Chain A
């Protein structure tokens, strides 16, 4: 199995999404162990593949959605949850993150998201460091986030080709087989490219040449890539594996579009604070943008065009938009719903806002058969909310991930519960 063939399967699953059949879904990756059976009654169900439906029931049997409709009959002994009209959505995307790769941001022994080998190592697969027992996994899952894409970082002393990331479920199934290549561009990557963003494209082109000509005779010192790195990169080139370019300035994004066209790559823009400026070109190139809608200040000279309307303008131009926070701390992911709500407050249609943290990222990363929408035959991955899922004042009341009802408790609630009575009795001192 190769990385890129996995990515090809993603393409197929995107294409087949709307028409997914029970057979196709049953053929999807294996499901986990504990699977629950329950009936959610009288919910407003956002399937993400059709209009929201009020007064609708969802029947989950042994972890899979088996019926969505009105007035479903409850099988004997099944657990019934009365949603009282509350919204039910697919589980929320936690963005491109370090969740499970880092316990504490400032403690290097707990962080594994980046290599500092001083070499370009596209074969660096960060998912090998994933720890499903990390505190952040349980915290985010209890708040209705059910999947993320583990993302390698381009650290000082590493490479602008950050390495491979992978989608991961916060349910029992863990790391999924897809692999995505991450590349970091722009002014803040200048220290990884000899001080110039022009050299970033030069290095990428050189790496591509090396990968495509594995028998090229080179003195060892002149090589950018190791033999295994060449193999991984070649796989992505031949099979159009998904490459995420972290880039903000419009002029840099244009260079990416050109590279993608000339080298026949399949790309996603991450960041894209100035993407709206060339929205038409991105739409024409069919390159999605994964952005943080809260970025509106000129944090750097790559972000002078940053605006709260980035998401709305891109959507209006027909660009596919997903949401991921710019901040890379593990807690940042918790702002995904808030970010989507803010995009809506600044002009993005509400349905697009919800899709940007559910269906769209699942499609981009080739995992739409597992995440991002609700359909019969799928493993249940859904959340019932106290109110509008994009509202900051809404909370997750029921979380089903990978077919299993998840605890709403976490290390956070354990700490809360230890101290709440002490405060009430005056003993918190």
Chain B
């Protein structure tokens, strides 16, 4: 039987609620990024993803060991490019060299030794980016031993890092690659008010997560509104059991973080003034994360469904002087589309999830369209699902159908921004990926047809110029060690039947 919901939507909490199969999921998170380049570009934030304290010069800890594969140049000729900047370029060539997009134009010359792909009019887009995934932390198979996405033992676990739960052998990564996913943010679940730090991964095969870690990408902090935290902790008769408890819980933590930051600043100032024999304040992993947010180095990715709660969160961010980068799920974002746009907050949304909990009762398929219609908005399609991440292009296609029913037509060159540029902004990596522009990372997908078709398949996927997937090649062994040598992946012989 299979009652398990592939969407993984209620898992966290589901342990108490779902009778069968649990463990698999995490229920939605949020994330938004500032639209302004200043806010979104990586600045120094990325390199200081793991500040050891507010005071010290941060040394990256648990650093990325990812190295782009050295590969000969690739010239893709005669493609239909959706650049991710809002433009569509027909009959255009794209040159990938040294891991970067080296040239875009017509009749580009092929460098010596270049691989040449005649796109023959096929569609080429930036690599797809999912800002909301639990691959690796709620991997397949969804056995109890794999339930690593929610440290649901206290309402604030800002000290935990999702990357320390990532299982690189999750077969979901390779499946997502077939859907054109080149970059993804893996988040803790939404059981807690503060769930912990997220990590941005490149979708490459590696035995260690450090080999997948996106160099210099800022970490996020997962926060959660609404039903999940109050249900999980309310059932244990502790705060929060209400929405007002949620807000009180958040504010108390920010106050602690401000004090922590003040103590360190005082220490720094005295040190700078030449004071001797000073004892530094005691390090606190939980408060280090929150202080990282107050310093703008860690991006807030806030799971929040209802419009009224998002507005409260924006007030809270003003109270404590930090920025909300993205709301995730944001099923009522359409009700406050202008407010979100004016605050430079992204909204990461589904195409057609609704009704699975009270706070998603007003979710509508046009949510993203209405958010997108507000001037200055940042609308993103996200998955929160090991199935959905394999076809974010189709999610966008469904939203285009909703537009049709409203008498609107969304052009493909616009729709692709929901999956690439805007997603890169929300992760603070838009200066290096998310669009087809000269100098950007060569994260590129060649589709066999219009990528918003249900029949579209990826023909080639490049990450940093390296050909990660090629559908014209015979299928090799699965990348995941877990799937290797499994008898169930071959047809059974009838002789064994009784």
Contact = CB atoms under 8 A, between A and B. Distances in A.
A297 B6 CA distance: 9
B488 A274 contact: yes
B497 A278 contact: yes
Contacts of B109: none
A298 B5 contact: no
B355 A335 contact: no
B141 interface: yes
Interface string A269-303: 00101101111110000000000001111111111
Interface string B356-384: 11100110111000100111000000000
Q: A331, A390, A423: which has the most chain B beta carbons within 10 Å? A: A423
A330 B355 contact: yes
A105 B356 CA distance: 4
B405 interface: yes
Contacts of A189: 1, 20
B141 A105 contact: no
Contact of B19 (A155, A274, A429): A155
A408 B401 CA distance: 14
A299 B1 contact: no
A215 interface: no
A369 interface: no
Nearest to A276: B491
B454 A338 contact: yes
Given A104-B361, A277-B488, A300 B141 contact: yes
B21 A300 contact: yes
B2 A273 contact: yes
A420 B482 contact: no
Contacts of B406: 416, 420
A246 to B, nearest CB: 4
A106 to B, nearest CB: 4
Interface residues of B, number: 76
Given A246-B2, A300-B142, A392-B397, A428 B334 contact: yes
Contacts of B3: 153-154, 184, 188, 246, 328
A63 to B, nearest CB: 25
Contacts of A423: 334, 337-338, 370, 373-374
B355 A135 contact: yes
A17 interface: no
Nearest to B404: A395
Given A250-B488, A342-B391, A429-B336, A392 B454 contact: yes
A107 interface: yes
B455 A277 contact: no
Given A154-B3, A416-B364, A331 B353 contact: yes
Given A278-B497, A298-B141, A338-B454, A188 B4 contact: yes
A429 B336 CA distance: 4
Contacts of B375: 426
Interface string B1-33: 111111101100000010111001000000000
B21 A188 contact: yes
A186 B141 contact: no
Among A156, A276, A280, A429, the one with the most B-chain Cβ atoms within 10 Å of its Cβ is A429
Given A186-B1, A299-B6, A299-B140, A420 B356 contact: no
A294 B387 contact: yes
A142 to B, nearest CB: 9
Task: Tell which of A136, A186, A395 has the most Cβ of chain B within 10 Å.
Answer: A395
A321 B4 CA distance: 21
B452 interface: yes
A247 B1 CA distance: 4
Interface string A8-49: 000000000000000000000000000000000000000000
A292 to B, nearest CB: 8
B227 A106 contact: yes
A305 B335 contact: no
A335 B334 contact: no
A268 interface: no
Contacts of B353: 329, 331
Interface string A72-103: 00000000000000000000000000000001
A250 B487 CA distance: 11
B404 to A, nearest CB: 5
B335 A428 contact: yes
A107 B370 contact: no
A420 B370 CA distance: 6
Contacts of A422: 335, 338
Interface string A384-421: 00100011111100000000000010001101100110
Interface string A315-333: 0000000000011111110
Contacts of B492: 250, 277-278
A296 B21 CA distance: 17
B172 A258 contact: no
Report which residue of B10, B355, B402 has the largest number of chain A beta carbons within 10 angstroms of its beta carbon.
B355
Contacts of B227: 106
A199 to B, nearest CB: 14
B65 interface: no
30 contacts: A104-B357, A106-B356, A106-B358, A139-B354, A184-B1, A184-B3, A258-B498, A276-B491, A281-B497, A295-B387, A296-B390, A297-B175, A299-B6, A300-B142, A301-B141, A301-B143, A305-B488, A327-B6, A329-B5, A331-B353, A341-B455, A344-B454, A391-B454, A393-B398, A393-B401, A420-B366, A420-B370, A428-B336, A428-B374, A429-B339
Closest 10 CB pairs of A and B: A156-B19, A341-B454, A304-B488, A392-B397, A246-B1, A305-B488, A429-B339, A105-B356, A184-B1, A188-B20
Given A295-B387, A423-B374, 15 more contacts: A135-B355, A154-B20, A185-B1, A258-B498, A299-B142, A300-B21, A334-B352, A386-B404, A391-B453, A392-B401, A393-B401, A395-B401, A412-B354, A424-B373, A428-B336
Interface of B: 1-7, 9-10, 17, 19-21, 24, 140-143, 171-172, 175, 227, 311, 334-339, 342, 352-358, 361-362, 364-366, 370, 373-375, 386-387, 390-391, 394, 397-398, 400-402, 404-406, 452-457, 482-483, 486, 488-492, 494, 497-498
